Chains A and B, each alone.
Chain A
Amino acid sequence: MRILYINNDGGGFADHIDVPEGTSVRQLFDQRVGAKPDGYLIRVNRQPASADQVLQAADRVTFTPVKIEGA
């Protein structure tokens, strides 16, 4: 199924990707980020989401680091 995946870490990524049906938020995070989830703001459709929330088609998933160092 197709979702909108946005990763605001590093250079940033925002595009539609295909993920298997039944993929959870945690599974997507582990595949795409691989860091500790508590260091990120995780949103599905602009709302906080639990790790075991199962993604639906056309969902908008956003991962934003909690700590972003300014200059």
Chain B
Amino acid sequence: MTKLPVERRQAYRAAVTICERLTSSAPVPSSELPLALWHRASQLIARLQLAQSRRWQAASQVLMDDLFASLGDLISALERFRSGLPPKRRAAALARPADLLADLAALDQEFTELQIDLADNEIRVLTEPIALEGIQLGPFRIVLHWDRIGTKGAYKVLAEEPRCPSGREDVTHPHVCERRLCEGDGAAPIQAALASGRLLDFFVLVRQILETYNSASAHVALDHWEGTSCKDCSIWLSPEEGSTCERCDDTVCGDCTVLCSACDRYVCLSCTADCSQCSDRCCLSCLQSPPNTEAELCPDCLQPGEPSIDSQTETPAPAPPPLPQASPASAAADAVRDGEATVPS
């Protein structure tokens, strides 16, 4: 007997398993029958029968009115329950193992990579790199958990080479957040495809959503994908705009960039303040406060010789070594240099 290739055997086993899953999973109602309303109506009927048996006409009329209202509530509740049930699935609409096998073979051709994981009940495909309006988003891996078909979270979308917008590591695509695709117009056909076991249609639908940009409804708009906002005024800056503060390394716009008059560094507004005396804008590091004052002065305004707060707080500098004793000859020479000696005529 000719053995099937490993991949084909894997695909066959997956097809059979998925088919069993589709045919055996019955829709489970998400809400309960309105038993309290049923009980209420039952009570009213019992009381009405009692009133009628004792010929209590007035009581019978009141109970009849109550019963009409109660039955109306019960019927409404039952209609709501029925409308909440999953749609009926015809057995003929479900994919057979041969259909699933054909879908898996087609997926192998349609996508860059197909993986079938029997241990984790997953089918994984890899798309081509996706670019939307010139923004490269890289390829995406679509992972279907076939044992979760019919539930939320049956599949996830993973960025193979994440290129997230600044500050939003949870968004890998304008319509993917935390690995969940916001299906939008694709929600109904995706649900129908999964319910029927049309795997090829499902993966193709997800891929087409990934390849379409809906600017009206995106987690992060593409024109905010690359770049960042000014640290001080929050205006949006493209990658070519803005500059970097030389003190804190944050990105700021031109309007929020200041040249420190003391150290000539380009810094952001948050890293600067005005000199209390001359109002020149300086780095916070370049401003100093004289002792016993709250004023912040630039180096030019800080008086020379005036001890700065830093010098008072620092440990005293060691005393300079004593000068050597001067010889008489050198003393006389020193006197001439100092202008104190009378130069003989």
Chain A contacts to B: CB under 8 angstroms = 6, 8-12, 14-15, 41, 46-47, 62, 64-71
**Chain A residues near B205 (CB-CB < 8 A):** 8, 64, 68
- The one of A11, A14, A65, A69 that contacts B93, using a Cβ cutoff of 8 Å: A14
Chain B interface category by residue count = 20 to 34
Which of B103, B106, B191, B208 is the one whose CB lies under 8 Å from A68? B208
B176-234 at interface with A (beta carbon < 8 Å): 181-186, 188-189, 191-193, 196, 198, 200-201, 204-205, 208-212, 214, 217
Name the A residues within 8 Å of B103 (CB-CB).
46
Give the CA-CA distance A6 to B102 in the complex, in Å: 16
A47: B residues at CB distance < 8 A = 106
Can you list 22 A-B contacts (CB < 8 A)? A8-B189, A8-B204, A8-B205, A11-B192, A12-B189, A14-B192, A41-B208, A46-B105, A47-B106, A64-B205, A66-B208, A67-B212, A68-B185, A68-B212, A69-B186, A69-B214, A70-B174, A70-B183, A70-B184, A70-B210, A71-B175, A71-B183
Residues of A within 8 A of B184 (CB): 68-71
Ranked nearest first, the 9 interchain pairs of A and B with the lowest CB-CB distance are: A70-B175, A71-B184, A12-B189, A69-B214, A71-B182, A12-B192, A46-B106, A70-B184, A8-B189
Give the interface centre of B182, B196, B198, B210 by most chain A CB atoms within 10 Å: B198
Contact present for A6 and B201 (CB under 8 Å): yes
B175 & A11 in contact (Cβ 8 Å cutoff): no
A6 CA to B193 CA, complexed, in Å: 10
Contact B214 A71 (CB under 8 A): yes
Asked if A71 and B217 sit within 8 Å, CB to CB, the answer is yes
Q: Are A15 and B185 closer than 8 Å at their CB atoms?
A: no
Q: B93 near A64 (CB under 8 angstroms)? A: no
User: In the assembled complex, which residues on chain B have CB atoms less than 8 Å from the CB atom of A9?
Assistant: 189
**Cα separation A6 to B183 with both chains bound (whole Å):** 19
**CA A70 – CA B183 in complex, angstroms?**
5
A11 to B191, alpha carbons, bound, how many Å? 9
Closest A residue, CB atoms, query B102: A46
Q: Are A6 and B217 in contact (CB under 8 A)?
A: no
A8 contact from B105, B193, B212, B214, Cβ within 8 A: B193
Are B188 and A11 in contact, with the CB atoms below 8 A? Answer: yes
